[in-house]
């Protein structure tokens, strides 16, 4: 079912809440992976706001869909999403990466309700997702697995081994979602290790592959719906996103992979963005 105007407004409201809490959490920590967290917020909003079969009141129900955030450094965006859809109290967000927290800097399935895979060592989440999808298939379960992987992360050979496996066994219930925000820790992906055309590469690996605007929730949703109609082939969506997506100042910031809130300019920009997001939320959009 496509997104109507009422549902789109609900999703826009949720995305604003997630972006606000993500920014406030990173600012409170003094630094964090802002760029790659912001670039997947629209995707997370569509997944938890519409697409995934999950129940925040029963996080481990057997028939739930699974999410593997292979780019685990974006964990703060996932935590903000889980808090805003009801997995745990939003007060937890103030404890991210502190001693004794249930919200470590990278997702840990043993610590946080709603986390299905412990990730952070880049590349490994792809294999975890392939393994989960295999187990579900062998058990004749219809659950979907959503794998979010970064474009910089695709420097890891393990990703391509996992993709080859997913394609060979036609694990079409494991949807590969590539966040192509075009930057990684040390610069642009094109300069560090040119990925060339990721859509064509995934097609060459045997995937039915779509490419959409990573900030367009309607387009993301339609692409997921289309992938769900594919019966005999692995599926992938490449999201054409922007590091720091949704806040112009952070989109333009050159060093926006992991932002340090150590200057008046950055803190002022963050405070202004927080104010604007709060106003947007108050308006109900």
Whether residue 151 is predicted with pLDDT greater than 80 in this model: the reply is yes
**Phi and psi for 175 in degrees, rounded to 5?**
-85, 115
Tell me the average pLDDT across 29-48.
97
82 alpha carbon, distance to own chain's centre = 12
Model pLDDT, residue 71: 97
Segments forming the whole domain that contains residue 160: 5-283
What percentage of the chain reaches a pLDDT higher than 90? 98
Q: pTM for the complete prediction?
A: 0.97
Instruction: Indicate which CATH number applies to the domain containing 224.
Output: 3.40.50.970
The span from the first CA to the last CA of the chain, in angstroms, equals 21
Whether residue 285 is predicted with pLDDT greater than 80 in this model: the reply is no
Tell me the average pLDDT of the chain: 96
Whether residue 96 is predicted with pLDDT greater than 70 in this model: the reply is yes
Model pLDDT, residue 283: 87
Cα→Cα distances 273→16, 19, 245, 247, Å: 11, 10, 12, 7
Tell me the average pLDDT across 128-144.
97
Whether residue 76 is predicted with pLDDT greater than 60 in this model: the reply is yes
Q: Residue 117 in contact with residue 107, Cβ under 8 Å?
A: yes
Tell me the average pLDDT across 99-124.
96
Model pLDDT, residue 7: 95
Domain count across the chain: 1
Model pLDDT, residue 21: 98
Tell me the average pLDDT across 102-114.
96
Tell me the average pLDDT across 85-93.
97
Tell me the average pLDDT across 116-130.
96
Tell me the average pLDDT across 159-187.
97
- pLDDT per residue as tens digits for the range 200-227: 999 999 999 999 999 999 999 999 999 9
Model pLDDT, residue 80: 98
Cα→Cα distances 184→49, 106, 153, 187, 212, Å: 28, 17, 8, 6, 20
Model pLDDT, residue 253: 95
Whether residue 137 is predicted with pLDDT greater than 80 in this model: the reply is yes
Model pLDDT, residue 58: 97
Model pLDDT, residue 1: 73
Model pLDDT, residue 161: 98
Going along 42-158, which residue ranges are E strands?
66-69, 145-150
């Amino acid at each position: 079912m496509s997104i109507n105007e009422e549902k789109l407004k609900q999703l826009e409201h949720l995305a604003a809440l997630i972006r606000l809490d993500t920014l406030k959490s990173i600012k409170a920590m003094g630094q964090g992976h802002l760029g790659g967290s912001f670039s997947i917020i629209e995707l997370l909003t569509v997944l938890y706001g519409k697409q995934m079969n999950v129940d925040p009141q029963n996080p481990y129900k057997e028939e739930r869909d699974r999410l593997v955030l292979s780019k685990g450094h974006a964990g703060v965006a996932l935590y903000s999403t889980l808090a805003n859809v009801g997995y745990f109290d939003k007060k937890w967000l103030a404890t991210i990466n502190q001693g004794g927290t249930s919200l470590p800097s990278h997702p840990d399935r043993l610590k946080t309700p709603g986390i299905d895979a412990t990730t952070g060592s880049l590349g490994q989440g792809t294999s975890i997702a392939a393994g989960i999808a295999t187990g579900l298939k062998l058990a004749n379960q219809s659950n979907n697995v959503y794998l979010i992987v970064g474009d910089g992360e695709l420097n890891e050979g393990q990703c391509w081994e996992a993709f080859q496996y997913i394609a060979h066994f036609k694990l079409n219930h494991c949807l590969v979602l590539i966040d192509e925000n075009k930057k990684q820790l040390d610069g642009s992906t094109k300069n560090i290790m040119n990925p060339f055309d990721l859509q064509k590469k995934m097609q060459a690996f045997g995937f039915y592959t779509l490419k959409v605007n990573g900030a367009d929730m309607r387009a993301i949703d339609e692409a997921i719906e289309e992938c769900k109609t594919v019966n005999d082939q692995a599926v992938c969506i490449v999201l054409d996103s922007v590091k720091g997506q949704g806040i112009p100042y952070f989109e333009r910031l050159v060093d926006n992979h992991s932002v340090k809130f150590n200057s008046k300019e950055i803190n002022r920009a963050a405070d202004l963005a927080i104010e604007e997001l709060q106003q947007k939320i108050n308006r109900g959009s």
